[in-house]
């Protein structure tokens, strides 16, 4: 078997793309999108009509509703290809506004349901800010399942688990990027590869914590920079992977082994005493503040997604 086939023995493979015409070649179970991926897709000739057709059909609607209808249009196309779920993201500019996040999430679900898509096939992506996690807590109680994204800190994962979030997406590659940049010329690529990759270590810690304490939240590693990071997390609940890296896995038949297993992945010595915690807003914000990497990458990620959301607004206004 090639590495993609081997990986599927241990992990649910998810495609990280808005390019739904690429999906069939890799047969993922689920797919994830984000504002940057959707913006990239609608600028391609094959996908531009989805945006223009939606904008024309919704002429006179508020801009934010046209955006949501465009996102759902992509989601509907993706769900024709994947048998599982699609993740659709709430506007990143609402990351610190829980009531607005709730309103947009409910509208997205309503649009899917109007097209005959059940809630079990949709995950609402929300940035893992304090406000986003509290919005997700409410949504989960309503049967609207969430994917908490832009997750870099252990504190974010703990709070998401306590809130009963369905799934989290720790960002492996962006964690790796931060440590590599901060180390400068002292960075040793070989010494920080595989299980020693700082992004891999972060996801493994969260996975072990959730399994140790029976936390039902699914862990989906995301934002990969290379195949080595993916292989080092074989066995994680889910991994969302770009088409480019899926193709590399599919072209390689080097054997891989399961790296994460709930039955044989005990906590490391310095994790052994970590207990499940109920974060207050103050303790969450303080813990996040203490993690310079997570603080910087969360802010950077929200800004980047907000920029791309703004670019999508501009495209819609031009139609």
Residue with tokens 């054997």: 255
Q: What is the pLDDT of residues 132-174, one digit of tens each?
A: 999 999 999 999 999 999 999 999 999 999 999 999 999 999 9
The answer to whether 316 and 55 have CB atoms below 8 angstroms apart is yes
271 has pLDDT over 80 = no
Q: Which residue among the candidates 40, 125, 181, 211 is catalytic per the annotation?
A: 125
Give yes or no: 125 in active site. Answer: yes
Phi-psi region of 261 (alpha: psi -120 to 50; beta: other; left: phi over 0): beta
User: Which are the contacts of 217, defined by CB distance < 8 A and separation ≥ 6?
Assistant: 160, 161, 164, 165, 166, 167, 168, 210
The answer to whether 265 and 259 have CB atoms below 8 angstroms apart is no
The answer to whether 154 and 206 have CB atoms below 8 angstroms apart is yes
pLDDT band at 78 (very low <50, low <70, confident <90, very high): very high
The answer to whether 202 and 185 have CB atoms below 8 angstroms apart is no
**C-beta atoms surrounding 2 within 10 Å:** 14
pLDDT (0 to 100) of residue 273 = 55
282 has pLDDT over 70 = yes
Average pLDDT, the chain: 95
Question: What's the CA dihedral at 199, 203, 209, 211 to 10 degrees?
Answer: -160
Q: What is the pLDDT of residues 89-107, one digit of tens each?
A: 999 999 999 999 999 999 9
Nearest to 218 by CA among 74, 14, 82, 8: 14
Q: What is the pLDDT of residues 40-62, one digit of tens each?
A: 999 999 999 999 999 999 999 99
pLDDT (0 to 100) of residue 269 = 47
Phi-psi region of 184 (alpha: psi -120 to 50; beta: other; left: phi over 0): left
- Please report the beta strands in 57-160, taking only residues with DSSP state E, as ranges in sequence order: 86-89, 122-127, 146-151
Long-range contacts of 276-284 (CB under 8 A, 24+ apart): 276/158, 276/161, 276/162, 276/213, 276/215, 277/158, 277/162, 278/162, 279/155, 279/158, 279/159, 279/162, 281/130, 284/130, 284/133, 284/155, 284/159
Q: Which domains, and CATH codes, for the chain?
A: 3-317 (3.20.20.70)
SS3 281: helix
Percent of the chain residues topping a pLDDT of 70: 96
Pick the more confident residue, 266 or 194: 194
pLDDT average, residue stretch 301-307? 97
pLDDT band at 268 (very low <50, low <70, confident <90, very high): low
The Cα–Cα gap between 265 and 19 comes to 35
Whether pTM > 0.75 for this model: the answer is yes
303 has pLDDT over 80 = yes
pLDDT average, residue stretch 8-23? 95
Q: What is the pLDDT of residues 216-239, one digit of tens each?
A: 999 999 999 999 999 999 999 999
User: Which are the contacts of 96, defined by CB distance < 8 A and separation ≥ 6?
Assistant: 129, 131
The answer to whether 48 and 54 have CB atoms below 8 angstroms apart is no
- Which residues does residue 168 pair with via DSSP β-bridges, in sequence order? 148, 219
CA distances from 58 to 35, 51, 91 (A): 20, 11, 19
Q: Residue 29, class by beta-carbon neighbours within 10 Å (0-12 exposed, 13-18 middle, 19+ buried)?
A: middle
pLDDT (0 to 100) of residue 263 = 80
């Amino acid at each position: 078997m090639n590495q993609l086939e081997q990986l599927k023995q241990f992990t649910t493979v998810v495609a990280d793309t808005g390019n739904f015409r690429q999906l069939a070649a890799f047969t993922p179970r689920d797919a994830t999108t984000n504002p940057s991926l959707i913006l990239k897709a609608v600028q391609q000739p094959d996908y531009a009509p989805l945006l223009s057709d939606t904008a024309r059909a919704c002429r006179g609607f508020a801009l934010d509703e046209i955006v949501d209808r465009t996102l759902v249009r992509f989601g509907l196309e993706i769900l024709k290809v994947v048998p599982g779920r699609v993740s659709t993201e709430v506007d990143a500019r609402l990351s610190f506004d829980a009531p607005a996040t709730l309103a947009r999430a409910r509208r997205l679900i309503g649009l899917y349901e109007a097209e005959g898509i059940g809630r079990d096939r949709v995950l609402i992506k929300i940035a893992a800010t304090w406000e986003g996690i509290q919005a997700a807590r409410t949504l989960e109680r309503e049967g609207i399942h969430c994917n908490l994204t832009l997750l870099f800190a252990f504190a974010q994962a703990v709070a998401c688990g306590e809130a009963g979030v369905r799934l989290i997406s720790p960002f492996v590659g962006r964690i790796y990027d931060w440590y590599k940049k901060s180390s400068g010329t002292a960075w040793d690529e070989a010494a920080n590869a595989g299980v020693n990759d700082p992004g891999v270590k972060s996801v493994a810690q969260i996975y072990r914590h959730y399994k140790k304490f029976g936390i039902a939240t699914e862990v989906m590693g995301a934002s990969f920079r290379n195949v080595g990071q993916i292989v080092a997390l074989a066995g994680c609940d889910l991994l969302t992977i770009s088409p480019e890296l899926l193709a590399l896995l599919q072209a390689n038949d080097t054997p891989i082994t399961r790296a994460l297993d709930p039955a044989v992945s005990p906590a490391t010595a310095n994790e052994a005493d970590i207990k499940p915690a109920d974060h207050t807003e103050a303790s969450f914000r303080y813990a996040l503040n203490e993690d310079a990497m997570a603080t910087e990458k969360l802010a950077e990620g929200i800004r980047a997604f907000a920029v791309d959301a703004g670019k999508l607004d501009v495209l819609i206004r031009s139609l």
